Amino acid sequence: MKIKKISHPDAFALRQARLDQALITGQPYIERPHYYEHVETGQQYYELFGCIGWPNVITDKNKGPNRPGYLAVVGAIKGKRPIEAAPYRIMAEVESHNIVTLFIEMVKLRAEYGFGLYPGLLQTWLGDSDRFIRELALFNEGLRRQSGKDNQDILISPPDDFSDPKVFDLYVRSISQAVDQDNQRLYYGGNTVLKNRVREFQDKDPVIIGIGGLIHSLSSRMMWMDQTRQNVFTIEEVINGQSY
């Protein structure tokens, strides 16, 4: 495993203090009481995320490129920038035309980058959840049989605005903004797949759908932080003795 989890010695108390402060100040997000560190480089991350872009739908071999599917693991970097403006680094990329190979590579990548260190870490990958449902169900059944556990499933969830008719334009703009050298927020980390693709954006490119959907979602709702809204009533009960 390339990632280790680092927690505050009194994580529960720190989290509760941050929630209390957020209630008083009206902050919608709080920093988590733990983060992750790459064991080889020492680089620290608030959170790690996975995305998938499925291979192109094959309709006519003579029309357009038949692009392979794409996987990426991306980290929200903990560093000098304010947490709300955390930059991103691509940790790993994989391409394949074979669906089962993509599933196998997802399992390998998540094992390398911290799956199991914290509930939900790299279990849900952002991508089109309506494609290859049967294939994923069969693969997950095999994972459960092999491990004897029910929490090993690969889950796919659509990125933000995925149903928008102009989704490709949204995702291209998110990538373009993130890699813009004047205000760069996404770093390739030595990986080359996306780096080569940004030279010419092509419609329905799985790389753009995968990484674009992830970057768009991350920037929209700061997924490396915890939302405070779901905890407001609990805090109010502690402070006021009742909820509103």
Q: Judge whether 244 lies within some domain.
A: no
Confidence of residue 58 (pLDDT cuts 50, 70, 90): low
Distances (CA, A) of 142 to 49, 100, 138, 236: 23, 12, 6, 45
* Site of tokens 């294939």: 135
pLDDT of residue 59: 64
Confidence of residue 57 (pLDDT cuts 50, 70, 90): confident
Q: Judge whether 242 lies within some domain.
A: no
Pairing mode of beta strands 88-96, 69-77: antiparallel
- Mean pLDDT value of segment 77-89: 94
pLDDT of residue 240: 38
pLDDT of residue 226: 84
Pairing mode of beta strands 69-77, 44-53: antiparallel
- Mean pLDDT value of segment 35-58: 94
Q: Return the higher-pLDDT residue of 21 and 244.
A: 21
pLDDT of residue 29: 76
- Mean pLDDT value of segment 149-165: 93
Instruction: Tell me the pLDDT tens digit for each residue of 111-134.
Output: 999 999 998 999 999 999 999 999
Contact 98, 126 (CB under 8 A): no
pLDDT of residue 64: 60
Residue 192 confidence (pLDDT) above 80: yes
Q: Judge whether 24 lies within some domain.
A: yes
Range of the domain at 149: 3-237
Instruction: Tell me the pLDDT tens digit for each residue of 10-42.
Output: 767 777 777 777 677 777 777 888 999 999 999
CB atoms within 10 A of CB 6: 11
Confidence of residue 60 (pLDDT cuts 50, 70, 90): low
pLDDT of residue 232: 42
Q: Looking at the 3D structure of the chain, how many domains does it have? A: 1
Q: Judge whether 207 lies within some domain.
A: yes
Residue 214 confidence (pLDDT) above 60: yes
Q: Domain of 139: which CATH number?
A: 3.30.420
Contact 223, 88 (CB under 8 A): no
pLDDT mean across residues, the chain:
87
Q: Judge whether 63 lies within some domain.
A: yes
pLDDT of residue 238: 35
CB atoms within 10 A of CB 135: 13
pLDDT of residue 242: 37
How big is the chain, counted in residues?
Answer: 244
Residue 231 confidence (pLDDT) above 50: no
Residue 146 confidence (pLDDT) above 70: yes
Residue 71 confidence (pLDDT) above 90: yes
Angstrom distance (rounded) from CA 41 to CA 67: 32
